[in-house]
Amino acid sequence: MSARQWQRVGGLTGILFAALTVATIFEPSEPDADEPTSTIARALADDRTAHVLVTYLSEIAAVLFLVFVAALWGVLRRAESVAGASLVALMGGIAFSTLEIGRHGAFLALVEAADKERETAAIRALLELDNTLFTGSLFALVAFHVGVALSAIPLRSLPAWLGWWAAGLALLFAVSALGIFGDYDEGPLFGILLPIGLLAHLLWVLAASGLMLRRAGGADAAVHAA
């Protein structure tokens, strides 16, 4: 597959990733981890179908993001004499997709355990695993955006504004991750900064996807003109 074809694939998968991620916003709210395990299990079992559907969409979105990252890595790598920042972005993207696939798999196991009325200890353990993997996903996004910023800003592999945007996202996710030292999903770090960061991340992916599609289209036009 040629470079421009990869850019086109990356742009399309990035847009699809953002669309599927937005669709998962309509998932029923997850029970508070501080609630009794029996209450959590009952709430998850009641909304089993919706949770399973959202988990399926989220797994597909994680795979789409992985393809987007692979295409973006090609764009970043061409601006480097030696693989450096682009490799950081690639590893961060791979880690994010891997952790998200594992996290949603753990959540599906949690829903099934709740629906089948498994032992409360198993349900609690799966809930804690889901929360822990989510924290890992945040740090993977930090690595991804740090790599992008270190490539785009000095090397102009992407427009500088996309690089500075990525740098801001890396900082925002790093600060949001400090919430793990407090009450999970409570307070300004997780309750305010994190949703803003996730929305800005989706917009960044859309912007980068649009750029790759335009570049691929421009390359096609140049080939036809020649």
Helix (H, G, I), strand (E, B) or coil at 174: helix
88: Cβ contacts below 8 Å, ≥ 6 apart: 143, 144, 146, 147, 150
Asked whether residue 179 is assigned to any structural domain, the reply reads yes
Q: Report the percent of the chain where pLDDT is more than 90.
A: 55
Q: Rounded mean pLDDT of the chain?
A: 87
Better-predicted residue by pLDDT, 130 or 225: 130
Asked whether residue 142 is assigned to any structural domain, the reply reads yes
Helix (H, G, I), strand (E, B) or coil at 164: helix
| Domains identified in the chain, total number | 1
Predicted model pTM: 0.88
Question: Is the model's pLDDT at 91 over the cut of 90?
Answer: yes
Cα separation values, 72 from 18, 45, 177, 220, Å: 15, 39, 25, 18
Structural domain span for residue 29: 3-215
Asked whether residue 225 is assigned to any structural domain, the reply reads no
Asked whether residue 70 is assigned to any structural domain, the reply reads yes
Asked whether residue 220 is assigned to any structural domain, the reply reads no
Asked whether residue 40 is assigned to any structural domain, the reply reads yes
User: HEC states along 88-108?
Assistant: HHHHHHHHHHHHHHHHHHHHH
CB 76 within 8 A of CB 148: yes
Mean pLDDT over 32-47 rounds to 80
For residue range 117-160, what is the model confidence (pLDDT) as tens digits?
A: 888 888 888 888 888 898 899 999 999 999 999 999 999 999 99
Asked whether residue 222 is assigned to any structural domain, the reply reads no
Q: Report the percent of the chain where pLDDT is more than 70.
A: 89
Instruction: For the beta carbon of residue 57, count every other beta carbon within 10 angstroms.
Output: 17
Asked whether residue 163 is assigned to any structural domain, the reply reads yes
